[in-house]
A and B are shown apart, each in its own frame.
Chain A
Amino acid sequence: MHYIFEPGFFGSGPVHVALAVGAVIAITSAVVGVFTVIRGQSFAGHSLADIATTGGSGAFLVGVNQFWGFLAFGAGAAAFMEMIGVQRRRSRDVATGVVLGAALGLAALFLYLATQSTSTTGASFTILFGSIFVITTSTIPALIASAVLALATVLVLARVLLLSSLSSDIAAARGVPVRAVGAAFLMALAVSVALSAVIIGAVLSTALLIGPAATALRLARSPVKAVITAAGVGVLAIWLGVVLAYDSYYWPPAGRGWPVSFFVVTLIVVGYLLTFLRRRDRQPAPADTLDREHACSPA
């Protein structure tokens, strides 16, 4: 047993927090991720994560907890992207890109000012790559509450979201306010990305968002099963990642532990690649057909 769980693993406070909060966040990300992948908004998801970096560095500069910075900038950017037209398929990648570029510029400025005033450069590393073992206890209620809020939004909207993702025309004809639904989803996306930015870092939160969802959509045969599978894959990746990171304190070369984010990302990508090994001689799954339908439409 000791080869898998190093002594002290179950007695360590930060580990408990990491496992519990990590699971909640992994579930939120995975569920939101399923809709993100179906809607073809991976780039928006990733951009919101990167933009959260700006918020994180801004928060560091003024001295509040990073999470609030992640959240404020994520939500702001989501609103702005919606405004300049992320809904139209043709132009939304460019609109997303321009917002992202400007936000990254701002991040550079914030980090520069922060390093000028405090002479710590470690901050940029924590913001970019996160650290699950240093979650501040006081932010945990806020983390959980935001996760529940994002999850609830997506689950309540699930049916209309699916419909408007597959055919916005039919949805509009049925009286669904397509644009409002899209905006609400983008907000939920921003919140969930801000959450995972806290644990595996802003630039890697895309992994938690897209990886489990893409894996699940290759395996599951219905949206409901896809959501459940994605949540399972996400939680598994986080937990295994935490265990491995804890073990790695005794690994070469440095004796300082490998970053959790590295393990989580590797596990997620390997899991996704493993789905390619599955023989695909059975009839294509509904979730997958839905996936293909989107592949044909201009992104």
Chain B
Amino acid sequence: MLNTWIAGTVVAVIAGVTGFFAVLRGSTFAAHAIPNGAFAGAAGATLLGFNPLAGLAVFSVAGALGIAGLSRRARNDVATALTLVMMLGVGALFVSWSTEYAQEAYSLLFGEVFGVSTDEVLPIVILGAVSIAAIIVMFRPLLLSSALPEVAEARGVSARRMELGFLLVMALATSMTVPVVGALLMFSLMIGPSAAARSLTARPVLAMTLAVVIALVTVWAGIVVSYESNWPLGFLVGVLGAAFFLAGRAYRAAAIRFRPRVA
């Protein structure tokens, strides 16, 4: 159980930090595509007898490069969609080749948080620390480039390079979180809490902190309820994330309506 708590906590922190930027930049689709496509890598690695983590890393980095590369020549959402379906198509092939894969595919898509072993915790913590460090290093230029791309360009921050850098961090974060919360739900954890935090405050550091806190509450509550009821963690994370988002929206709507008039 200790492993579950450690892994869940690291995942929540990462999801909050990267999710904040994903929501700010509007790269929600990429946040969905990279974890989802990376699932194919895990399928392939299992088929060939490698560590699934290696497959996840290779495929999520390939996905990030594919999205960034195609975006130079095509619309961003089209590039993301096509990169995603290509990876999923390969995943479907891998899954059909292996014989007893269905159960494992299910756990990769929807997570297996109670199955985290001590061997798995260490790489998760290390990769998590690396992606947090990368975000801290990139923080100021990334923030500027996300909020005001033109100003950032004028100041010499290349939007393209920032996009690539951010996608690579997302890929790194993905490869460690997918085995824990699953490919489909890593996404909920990135978007729901961050979107809720964004509607509560406009100040970047505060919003990011709030996103991490909300993600932590979501994961911890999810783990407790999931352990008690045996329902999948993914379900609880998805629903709690959406609930926080709706609560944030309601709060903002109320704040606007009852805002004291400036005399």
Contacts and interface: CB of A to CB of B under 8 A. Distances in A.
* Centre residue among A41, A43, A207, A214 by max chain B CB count within 10 A: A43
Interface of A: 37, 40-43, 45-47, 50, 84, 90, 93-94, 96-109, 111-112, 115, 121-122, 124-125, 128-129, 201, 203-204, 206-207, 210-211, 214, 218, 253-254, 256-259, 261-262, 264-266, 268-269, 272, 276, 291, 294-295, 298-299
Nearest to A269: B86
Interface of B: 23, 26, 28-29, 31-32, 36, 73-78, 80-82, 84-86, 88-90, 92-93, 95-97, 99, 102-103, 105-106, 109-111, 182, 184-185, 187-188, 191-192, 195, 231-232, 234-239, 241-242, 245, 249
B89 A204 contact: yes
A93 B32 CA distance: 11
B48 to A, nearest CB: 11
Nearest to B24: A94
Contacts of B245: 98
A108 B110 contact: yes
B92 A259 contact: yes
A90 B28 CA distance: 11
Given A105-B238, A124-B106, A204 B88 contact: yes
Contact of A210 (B78, B90, B241): B78
A111 B74 CA distance: 36
* Centre residue among A108, A121, A214 by max chain B CB count within 10 A: A108
A37 B232 contact: no
Given A96-B28, A261-B92, A104 B185 contact: yes
B235 A106 contact: yes
Nearest to B94: A262
Contact of A214 (B74, B110, B111): B74
B47 to A, nearest CB: 10
A102 B242 contact: yes
B102 A125 contact: yes
A101 B188 contact: yes
Nearest to B99: A254
Nearest to B183: A104
A266 to B, nearest CB: 6
Contacts of A94: 23, 26, 28, 191, 195
Contacts of B78: 37, 42, 210, 214
Contacts of B184: 50, 104, 107-108
Given A101-B238, A101-B242, A125-B105, A207 B97 contact: no
Nearest to A84: B249
A39 to B, nearest CB: 10
25 contacts: A43-B77, A90-B26, A93-B26, A99-B242, A101-B242, A102-B238, A103-B238, A104-B234, A105-B185, A105-B234, A105-B241, A107-B184, A108-B185, A108-B238, A109-B235, A124-B109, A125-B95, A204-B88, A207-B89, A210-B82, A258-B93, A261-B89, A262-B92, A298-B26, A299-B77
A294 B241 contact: no
A165 to B, nearest CB: 13
B79 to A, nearest CB: 9
* Centre residue among B31, B88, B89, B102 by max chain A CB count within 10 A: B89
A112 B231 CA distance: 7
B258 to A, nearest CB: 21
A84 B110 CA distance: 26
Contacts of B73: 276
Given A42-B80, A46-B81, A253-B97, A204 B92 contact: yes
B59 to A, nearest CB: 15
- Sorted nearest first, the 10 A-B pairs with minimum C-beta distance are A105-B238, A101-B188, A265-B89, A102-B242, A108-B234, A42-B77, A207-B85, A121-B102, A109-B235, A97-B28
A90 to B, nearest CB: 7
Contacts of A84: 249
Contacts of A268: 82, 85
B81 A201 contact: no
B85 A211 contact: yes
B96 A93 contact: no
Contact of A98 (B85, B234, B241): B241
Contact of B86 (A90, A105, A266): A266
Nearest to A96: B28
A268 B102 CA distance: 26
